[in-house]
A and B are shown apart, each in its own frame.
Chain A
Amino acid sequence: MFSFQYLFKFNIICYFLAVLPVLIYSLMAMLSESVQNNEFMKRHIGCLFIRLPLIFILLAGFSGLFASFQPLHVQCDHNTDFLIFSTPSAQDYVPANEYLSGKEKNKKDEFSFPIELKYWIDGISRLFGALISFFAIITAIFSFSYLSSEGIRKTKQIKMHQITYIPAVFSLFLLAMTQIVYLDNMILFIYCWEVMTLSSAAFAYFKHLSSTEKKDFSSTSRITLTSYLISGQVSTVLLLSGLMLTSPDTYTLSELFGKQKTLSFVLLFCGFGIKAAMVPFHFWLPFINYSSPGNAHALHSSIMVKVGIYGIVRLLFSSHNGVAPWMAELTIIFGALTVLVGIQYAIVQHDLKKALAYHTVENIGIILIGLGVAALTMHYKLTAVSVIALIAALFHVINHAFFKGLLLLIVGQIEMLKNKVHIDQLKGLFKIMPIASIFFMIGAMSISAIPPLNGFASEWMTFQSLIAGIQQLNDQVPKIILLIGFVFLAYGCAGTALCFTKICGLIFFGVDLEKTVTVKETAKFFFGIVFSTAILAFCCVLSGLFPGGFIQLICMSMKNCLFLEPMFPFLDRILELNSWTGIIHPDTNITIYPIGIGILLVLVFFIFSVYSILFFMKRKQKPVVKTVPVWNCGSDFEINRMSANAKQLSMIYSENTFFSQLKAGKKENSFLESTLLKTPDKTIQEYFLNVYEYVLTIIQKCSSRIGKCIQNGDIRTYIVYILISLILLCGIFGVRYGIQ
């Protein structure tokens, strides 16, 4: 009854149904202008046009999540079904493969239409599909409170009917991402890729709505949109050209990804890398994160970049022989560069949303390093190490989605309450939102790789796979490349702890002197927001304490992927261990997370929190501890002016590292700087934007010169062009059809 097909179709239908209400609303608004001022509409707009689509998204998320765990019955007749499910997998039913081979025979004889709704269902796509559906549920729950709350409208002065477009765009965005990870047809894949870019770009309009100055749209929002759309466009072009270069015979992705040559690999890698926010294509992520509403930037940063990672996973692991070593080495080097640049800009960035976006860039680097190690060791037949590295990378994909989603949803809540996200402007949030700040600290400890939370588990596995790779490889060059990956990974780990200590310390503690938030607003309990962030915080702790369960899930999904066949014996041995806690990998002698310490720490933490609650209750009755004011160096200044601010805390770091020298030689009043860099914090300069700007000016100069050369305004030149083209055409046709 609840097989994959039915749930999957239900998922698609629900996403489409979520778009319908806003279409109806806009049609009504077009037909009569009085709809917006109608009293009935005003009263029910929140219920009808915001909550109803969210319910559909919730249903779609649940069906997608259940679908990814359901078996696939391929033998259902394809004639009556408009969706074609193919499974190049050993685990599912055999008729699928027979069906595929039979189809290939037919294809040569007759013309096949390139666009067909064909799906590639195996473990990897199920894993990513489950992640996307899970986040559909989480963000839908969050949006119930976020979009209909008073806070978003009061502080941002937005009318209710102005945000009716958000759920519709949301569902289109999620639909496109779900389809991308399951689709097998090239044309539809590219089509969905475009839909994903366009629908998520619509979120950037939100900043324009909320900004008090309408002038703002001319600079930040417009440039955000432009840079995002251009990067999306370039990514699509690269993907299309790469896929078309690979093979002219077929349109199915499962065959195309396996046949990569040099040029097509580079094109596809860059195309997926742009969406995965890989350096040097990462510049769009902080801008789009800055401009999006609180529920959407979590999707951008934690899920959409993972779709790019999905492409890179497919690219590296879609042939039985494995990829060439230089492809894996390229992945590791780009990963190392991504970690370095991401962490450097994250430390000096004091805007909360942008800093978290740069941390996303850094974590993408960690995932890329893991994938690269897996591909490299697979080529050198060190499959035991390769298994660990791939599990680590996929585990970090899941973990990063958990903690980054958690952090960004809470940042969305902060933005909703305070309407500002600069670190120095936020103080003493612990008093306003104690639950959210505890959740934020859990997320911060996860991302800083502090045991016993999940970031530590996956980063540790990446480190272990790097060590095992360096130890067991025989060639010198890949060893050195793995060492480069190791050094930058260590650098990134250390920097993250610094950055999140700064963020947590500055925004949650201290004294909030401003009274912008009314007591009534803060005392209100946002059920949806608290529930969704609580689920994510629970997931962070759970996958940190019991990584074995998640690792087994990943192992099972990897066993469902036919191209990972050399790994199957090793995966079997991990699955046989059947341990939810600590695992010692039998083949490589790698300990996968001994967990006793985590449970011990949680016990200790629990005991002490109970103790401290008791202590507080006692303290309220009679003061045991003497309280004194904070020593302010004997001055009368307010405490916030005397304590450190964000720039001070990261200044020592940014001024004394070699990377800051790169930013020194900048030109003044250049084109991109005057537009793109007009952010609240003008001190932060993007080095890579200067590079792009340099390329841009060169292209402009060249094109204007060539244009002047070709179109010089003289009619005699044009006549020569016509003559030359005629002669060329005659020559081509002559050669083609034979001059007899």
Chain B
Amino acid sequence: MEFSNINLFLAIFQVILILIIGPLVNGLFACTRQYLTGQRDIGTSVCQPWRNLFKLFKKKDQTSQLNKGFAIIGPLLSFIAIVLAASMIPLFTYDTLGHLFWGDDLFLMLGLLLLSKFFQSMISFDAPACFSTMGTGRAMMVHSATEPVFFLIILGLALIAGNTSIWTVLHFKENLSTPTDIFMQIPYLFLLISLYLNILMECGRIPYDNPATHLELTMIEKGARIERSGSDLAFAEWGESIKILIFMLLISNVVINKLSSLFQTDISLLFNFIIIAVIIVLTVFVELAMPRYRVGDLPRQSLASMGLALLAVCLIIIIPN
């Protein structure tokens, strides 16, 4: 682990960049959607989520009469947990802050996201209105369906690299010289598809949850924070968008790792931006093509990604290296 001031500066800059790009991803989703549906004349900017956030930060907070103080420290703490998780994932350099100082482990990253989720749900229960509690219950249900799949994906990634550290997983280079070796990579394709489905579910994209809905009875993540306003809401929204970016970066980093071992060269991490753009376009296509599932069907639908991940891990185990 080489340590220098430039590395430290780059690592800090990387985290700041992830914080800035996070809301822009949501803007990009909206723009692409408008472009593809032919509503080009409306002209939504990519920066619209940032404008919304600024507006929310400027607003005066309104809190419930019932809250016990959890609503005051909760939003910031859950946001900090997400920022710490963001400090472990590479965007343009592998020397993340987590790798340099406090450990970059995939389990630890998931644990931090769970910490943030725990605080979020405590805030929702703090002022127990009808829709916020219902939304929290649903969000935790979705989480309990997606987390085992994340664990399986970590298992699949760590089996080949030998360690669950993100640095090790992304630095492991295989020798893919023969066609058989390339054929052996098919389980990782399954793994990535499963990860993608799981991210759609965890982050509430369309086949599983509609982020643009305003009907309280069908909301999941939005329903959980329906009672919040001002800076509390801003932190929650900001954190949510960073979470999507973290997961997308995980996919794109793994793809870059696989591509660089395929072409026997070190592909620059700047390809992350291109791959994220591809993922966004793909997601918008999925959103346009598919209707939304009912909430009650979600546990059953989660079995698809679970089965795919299990199949992939079984294939990785059975195929001898």
Contacts and interface: CB of A to CB of B under 8 A. Distances in A.
A460 B164 CA distance: 11
Interface stretch (A255-263, A609-617, A693-701, A721-729): A609-617
Interface stretch (A63-71, A154-162, A502-510, A730-738): A502-510
B107 A460 contact: yes
B314 A591 contact: no
Contact of A506 (B98, B118, B125, B310): B125
Interface in A640-659: 640, 642-644, 648-650, 652-653, 655-657
A582 B163 CA distance: 15
Interface string A647-684: 01110110111000000000000000000000000000
Interface in B143-172: 143-148, 151-152, 155, 158-159, 162-165, 168
Interface stretch (B23-31, B41-49, B109-117, B250-258): B109-117
A413 interface: no
B196 to A, nearest CB: 19
Contacts of A508: 68, 125
B56 to A, nearest CB: 15
Q: What is the predominant secondary structure among interface residues of chain B facing chain A?
A: helix
A596 B137 contact: no
B125 A582 contact: no
**Chain A interface, >50% SS class:** helix
B184 to A, nearest CB: 16
A488 to B, nearest CB: 9
Nearest to B112: A451
B178 interface: no
Given A494-B148, A498-B140, A597-B108, A509 B126 contact: yes
Interface in B258-277: none
B134 A656 contact: no
Interface residues of B, number: 75
B122 interface: yes
Contacts of A479: 317
A297 to B, nearest CB: 25
Nearest to B320: A474
A493 B133 contact: no
Given A497-B147, A498-B143, A505-B136, A642 B159 contact: no
Contacts of A494: 143-148
Nearest to A615: B72
Contacts of A589: 162-163, 168
A491 B80 CA distance: 27
Nearest to B148: A490
A582 B299 CA distance: 37
A449 interface: yes
Interface residues of A, number: 79
Nearest to B66: A630
B76 A608 contact: yes
Interface in A598-628: 600-601, 604-605, 608-609, 611-612, 615-616, 625-628
A495 B313 contact: no
A463 interface: yes
A188 interface: no
A644 B68 CA distance: 18
Max chain B Cβ within 10 angstroms of own Cβ: one of A450, A466, A604: A450
A486 B130 contact: no
Contact of B62 (A596, A601, A628): A628
Interface in B121-141: 121-122, 124-131, 133-134, 136-138, 140-141
Interface in B220-261: 227
A448 B114 CA distance: 9
Nearest to B126: A509
A430 interface: yes
B176 interface: no
A471 interface: yes
A615 B70 CA distance: 12
Nearest to A450: B115
Interface in A552-593: 582, 589-591
Contacts of A615: 72
Interface string A461-479: 0011011001100001001
A310 interface: no
B68 A509 contact: yes
B129 A630 contact: yes
Interface of B: 60-66, 68-70, 72-73, 76-77, 80-81, 84, 98, 101-103, 105, 107-108, 111-112, 114-115, 117-118, 121-122, 124-131, 133-134, 136-138, 140-141, 143-148, 151-152, 155, 158-159, 162-165, 168, 227, 295-300, 310, 313-314, 317-318
23 contacts: A451-B108, A451-B111, A463-B164, A470-B159, A471-B158, A471-B162, A494-B148, A497-B118, A498-B144, A505-B136, A509-B126, A589-B162, A591-B163, A594-B108, A596-B102, A596-B103, A600-B84, A616-B72, A628-B63, A630-B66, A639-B66, A644-B133, A656-B297
Interface of A: 430-431, 441, 445, 448-451, 456, 460, 463-464, 466-467, 470-471, 476, 479-480, 483, 486-487, 489-491, 493-495, 497-498, 501-502, 504-506, 508-511, 582, 589-591, 594-597, 600-601, 604-605, 608-609, 611-612, 615-616, 625-633, 639-640, 642-644, 648-650, 652-653, 655-657
Given A490-B147, A497-B114, A629-B65, 9 more contacts: A486-B152, A501-B118, A505-B125, A591-B164, A616-B69, A630-B128, A630-B227, A644-B133, A649-B133
